[in-house]
Amino acid sequence: MLSPEITPQEFEKLRLETTGKPEAPLLLDVREPWESATATLAGATLIPMAEIPTRAHTELDPDQPIVVFCHHGMRSLSVTMWLRREGFEHVQSLAGGIDGYSRTIDPAIPRY
């Protein structure tokens, strides 16, 4: 099974290699709507953490690779572990969250 976390560098490499391909991971933003409006990653699907239990099985494909992110990586890791217990085997949390991605990969993404 995949590591529960993916570094911003590993994620960026994966993203560049799979853009437009069927194996491209779904980007799952588990922050609140106001956070997503402040800063986001292009193409992300927003499902706030509190809504994951009621929406995951109807809106997410357990066979698709998924990269979950939040602000600093704590909520996304929690959601990742829950999804794995629910049978989603190809899910990883973006280590450091969108803040870490902004600091190390794309400084144009606002930090908050």
Tens digits of residue pLDDT in 25-50: 999 999 999 999 999 999 999 999 99
Residue 112 lies in a domain: no
Q: What is the pLDDT of residue 17?
A: 95
What does the pLDDT look like over 79-102, one tens digit per residue?
A: 999 999 999 999 999 999 999 999
**Residue 41: inside a domain:** yes
Is 50 domain-assigned? yes
Q: Would you say residue 38 lies in a domain? A: yes
The total number of structural domains in the chain stands at 1
Q: How confident is the model at residue 1 (pLDDT cuts 50, 70, 90)?
A: confident
| In-domain check, residue 110 | no
Q: Can you tell me the mean pLDDT for 48-60? A: 98
CA distance 91 to 3: 9
The overall average pLDDT reported for the chain is 97
Q: Per the domain annotation, does 109 fall within a domain? A: no
10 in any annotated domain: yes
Residue 22: give the domain boundaries. Answer: 5-104
- Residue 29 belongs to a domain with what CATH number? 3.40.250.10
Share of residues in the chain with pLDDT > 70 (%): 100
Q: Quote the CA–CA distance of 92 and 80 in Å, as a whole number.
A: 6
